[in-house]
């Protein structure tokens, strides 16, 4: 169980570190001054700050209490790591680690600056997906791995713990 926890923690630390490094680069190097940078016909770098939860929901309520949401994310991330410690499926364990790391990355932003730094702008023919960041990618990849782990497989089910 300890080895499972350490592996999930490693994935969480990797997701957290990559998220924070990319946000630092965007804030202190790339977006000085803030501007729109076209990378591809469907991808821009555009600095934004999310004061709400996913897609800016509850912005008005949470803008005054960013520490509350940051603390909640910290508690959830810790819970996810303990869940990962009990997982026998490696995909599930990695997924939980990625989700925890992404949640911690966004929680640190909220704690430090009151909002989450977003900068990846995907778009198509005038339609823009809400701007996001590396932590959001880690969370989405983690959810994808969790879904894959939940699919039925040809392998026998693991033996129950005693």
Which residues are the active-site residues?
118, 136
Residue 59 clears pLDDT 70, i.e. is over it? no
Q: Quickly count: other Cβ atoms within 10 Å of residue 162's Cβ.
A: 3
* Sign of the alpha-carbon torsion through 57, 61, 63, 66: negative
pLDDT digits (tens, 9 = 90+) for 1-53: 889 999 999 999 999 999 999 999 999 999 999 999 999 999 999 999 988 76
pLDDT digits (tens, 9 = 90+) for 77-112: 999 999 999 999 999 999 999 999 999 999 999 889
Q: Are 91 and 98 in contact (CB under 8 A)?
A: no
Mean pLDDT over all residues of the chain?
89
pLDDT digits (tens, 9 = 90+) for 107-147: 999 889 988 999 999 999 999 999 999 999 999 999 999 99
What is the per-residue pLDDT for 15?
A: 98
| pTM of the predicted protein model | 0.85
What is the per-residue pLDDT for 89?
A: 93
CA distance 49 to 30: 16
């Amino acid at each position: 169980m300890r080895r499972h926890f350490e592996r999930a923690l490693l994935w969480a630390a990797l997701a957290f570190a990559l998220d924070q490094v990319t946000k630092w680069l965007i804030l202190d190097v790339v977006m000085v001054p803030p501007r729109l940078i076209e990378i591809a016909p469907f991808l821009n770098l555009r600095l934004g700050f999310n004061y709400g939860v996913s897609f800016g929901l509850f912005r008005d309520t949470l803008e005054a209490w960013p520490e509350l949401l940051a603390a909640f994310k910290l508690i959830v991330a810790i819970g996810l790591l303990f869940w990962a410690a009990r997982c026998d499926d490696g995909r599930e364990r990695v997924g939980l680690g990625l989700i925890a790391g992404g949640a911690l990355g966004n929680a640190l932003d909220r704690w430090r600056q009151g909002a989450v730094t977003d900068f990846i702008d995907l778009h198509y023919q005038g339609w823009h997906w809400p701007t996001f960041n590396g932590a959001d990618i880690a969370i989405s990849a983690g959810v994808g791995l969790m879904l894959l782990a939940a699919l039925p497989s040809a392998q026998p089910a693991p033996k129950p713990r005693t």
